Structure 1
Amino acid sequence: MSTTVKDLNKWANAHTYFTLDLLRIALGVFLFFKGITFITNIQYLVDLISPIDKIGGGMFLIHYIAPAHMIGGIMIVFGLLTRWAIISQLPILIGAVIVNFMGELHTQNLIIAFLTLSLCVFFLFYGSGKHSADYFFKMQR
């Protein structure tokens, strides 16, 4: 497993581009502000997860989604433990895509959730790139 991550990091560092770093930063900023939106408007979040609230764990989801977006977004912006931050986002984003099919279909929300999920999957494999805290700390060894 660690050789696979090392190979992915070597490939990503050899093929790093400033635009990909800006895209990673934009993804992190988007997730951070989405977390702020959820905290400042809890009813909006409650309404979003209402189709799956029948399954249970609604209160857990409310207390997981906003902080995970905020903390994960900051970590993604700085490129600090990027893959771990993205792994914490994946269940939320997969749930966001599924919720659109379980409840009333909101095309705009579905597109945003799918694009964000796609970017997260990309950066899960790509990593944080050369202009990141992960790369900086790795070079300090």
Structure 2
Amino acid sequence: MNAAQDLHSSPHLNSASNPLWMDGLRIVLGLFLFAKGLMFLEHNSDVFYVFSNSQNLVSMEKATLFTSVVHIIGGLMIAVGCLTRFSLLCQFPILLGAMLIVNPQRGVHLGNTELWLSILVTGLLLFFMIVGPGRYSVDNKILRPRQPELEE
């Protein structure tokens, strides 16, 4: 077996070898984003107020709906581990907007829990972009091609 085959067949280089707690954390992250999307739909007047300083009414309505849909669909996809990295990537613009535009309007201090929550969730998105979806995910069970057993 040459070095290239050894590199591709190592069980430690894919997310199927991630510990179980990582799968649980991914599921919690996905469910949190799903719930946050539902909250945006329920409290869209609050979101309108925050966006009102810099946008017109039509773009605010679209931004709120877009944010909600991406969080709801993306959160469910992250929770089940289906197209996980793509779903994580779709969340980045929303969270970067929350961290850089929306939350600093409330002030950058320890009492601004939404800012710290946005930073934490963005960190988790980066973490799962690197480590992958884990062993209990649709990506691992269905979408990842299986390697044929090598004969020794």
Q: TM-score range by the shorter chain?
A: 0.7 to 0.9
Structure 1 residues 26-74: Cα deviation after superposition (integer angstroms, max 9, x where no partner):
00000000011111111122233334436x8323211210010000000
Structure 1 residues 7-32: Cα deviation after superposition (integer angstroms, max 9, x where no partner):
9x962436401100000000000000
Runs of 4+ in 1 over 4 A off after TM superposition: none
Alignment of 1:36 onto 2:38: yes
Larger Rg over CA atoms: 2
User: CA separation in 1, counterparts of 2:37 and 2:19?
Assistant: 28
Identity %: 32
Q: Unmatched 5+ residue regions in structure 1?
A: 1-5
User: By percentage of residues, which structure has more helix?
Assistant: 1
Say what the alpha-carbon RMSD is for the aligned residues.
2.5
User: CA separation in 1, counterparts of 2:70 and 2:88?
Assistant: 10
Q: Which residue is equivalent to 1:69? A: 71
Q: Unmatched 5+ residue regions in structure 2?
A: 1-7, 147-152
Relative to the length of structure 2, the TM-score reads 0.77
Q: Which residue is equivalent to 2:94? A: 92
Structure 1 residues 85-104: Cα deviation after superposition (integer angstroms, max 9, x where no partner):
11110000000101222x22
Task: Report the alpha carbon displacement of residue 140 of structure 1 after superposing the two structures with TM.
Answer: 6.5
Relative to the length of structure 1, the TM-score reads 0.83
What SS class does the counterpart of residue 22 from structure 2 fall into?
Answer: helix
Q: Which residue is equivalent to 1:138? A: 143
